[in-house]
Amino acid sequence: MNINKLRQVVNNGWTIKNRKDISQAVDSKEFKEICTLANRARLGGDKFLYSCAKDVIAENSLIKIKESLLKLLNDHTPLKSAAIRYHCEPKGILAFGYPEYYTTFFSRVFIDEKPEIAVKFKSKKGIQKAQPAHYEDIYVLLPHYRIDELWSRGKGTGKEAVKNVVLSSLMNPKTKGRVTLDACCIDGKTSPAGFYYKLGFRMPDPYSNEELEQWVKNGGNRENAPFLAGIMYLPKENILSCLTY
């Protein structure tokens, strides 16, 4: 690899958007030099910083990500991504069902005792057991990136847009790769939950994840994707698979 070429790329603004202009894939040592040069140049924007990601992803995974980010496209044309709207959400939103690295303790509240009652709803018909008075810990989400809307044009543009958001979260030392979204149905016929599940996102509800996993095992066809809606998040162990999908 011609290091002078790398320096030229960095001096021109080394970001995710122009990564395809590099003449060939680079190994981990050369990538570290890129990061050093990028820091010296005080580049802003969406550059991928090793220092911000090393505490989230294992070293061997980082090398694979570096290589995938810096591969050459034969025609040297930048890869287009779909239109996407997202923002960095500060700490404070109530969290239910998220893993520990997404949440932090907020407060402890007292819950009054509840008597035994008869439940008459068809799906939950029966007796709801009494609950003694107790304390419950309340947790809130740590800072994270939240995808608000995604307008995909097909041909991989949607997944590239999502990857850029994940990378932005990785580069931010406050968010460390945390990304959430609300998989909601817009057209009344389909749900984007299957698309995000394939990228590595998961729902706090384990039953929904089991349904999506079974769908993937059966072929993962868009036509018969589960009609699910709700909050989804990207587990840290799925960051690599998302970026290399």
Could you write out the DSSP letters of every residue in 186-218?
SSSS--THHHHHHHT-B-S-HHHHHHHHHHHHT
Same domain, 7 and 65: yes
The per-residue DSSP string of the chain comes to --HHHHHHHHHTT--STTGGGSSS---HHHHHHHHHHHHHHT--SS---HHHHTTTS-HHHHHHHHHHHTPPPTT-PPPP--EEEEEEEPS--B-SS--GGGEEEEEEEEE--B--EEE--GGG-EEEPPB--EEEEEEEEPSEEEEEEEE--STTHHHHHHHHHHHHHHH-TTTTT-EEEEE--SSSS--THHHHHHHT-B-S-HHHHHHHHHHHHTT--GGG-----EEEE--GGGHHHHHT-
179 and 232 in one domain?
Answer: yes
Residue 21 lies in a domain: yes
Question: Which domain CATH number covers 224?
Answer: 3.40.630
Residues 31 and 52 in one domain: yes
Same domain, 150 and 120: no
Same domain, 135 and 152: no
Q: Do 24 and 35 belong together in one domain?
A: yes
Instruction: Give pLDDT, residue 75.
Output: 33
Identity at 99, one-letter amino acid code: P
Residues 62 and 120 in one domain: no
Q: How many domains does the chain have?
A: 3
Residue 186 lies inside a defined structural domain of this protein: yes
Burial of 21 (0-12, 13-18, 19+ CB in 10 A): middle
Residue 238 resides in a domain:
yes
In this structure, are 129 and 200 located in the same domain?
Answer: no
Domain of 167 in residue numbering reads as 83-90+143-243
Together in a domain, 148 and 137: no
Burial 139-174 (b: 16+ CB within 10 A, else e): bbbbbbbbbeebebeeeebbbbbbbbbbbbbbbbee
Do 190 and 156 sit in the same domain of this protein? yes
The answer to whether 151 and 83 have CB atoms below 8 angstroms apart is: yes
The CA distance from 80 to 20, in Å, is: 11
pLDDT grade, residue 54 (50/70/90)?
Answer: low
Query: Considering the chain, what percentage of its residues have pLDDT values greater than 90?
Result: 25
107 and 127 inside one domain: yes
Inside any domain, residue 207: yes
Q: Say if residues 55 and 176 touch (Cβ distance below 8 Å).
A: yes
**Residue 56 lies inside a defined structural domain of this protein:** yes
Is position 224 within any domain? yes
The residues near 219 (Cβ < 8 Å, ≥ 6 apart) are none
> Is 80 exceeded by the pLDDT of residue 160?
yes
What φ, ψ does residue 9 adopt, rounded to 5°?
-65, -45
- pLDDT band for 118, please (50, 70, 90 cuts): confident
Residues 214 and 234 in one domain: yes
Q: Is residue 77 part of a domain?
A: no
Q: 209-230: per-residue pLDDT in tens? A: 999 999 999 998 888 888 898 9
Check residue 156 and give its pLDDT: 78
In tens, the pLDDT along 193-208 reads 999 999 999 999 999 9
Residue 55: the pLDDT is: 55
122 pLDDT higher than 50: yes
Confidence of residue 78 (pLDDT cuts 50, 70, 90): very low
Residue 54 lies in a domain: yes
pTM above 0.75, yes or no: no
Mean per-residue pLDDT of the chain? 74
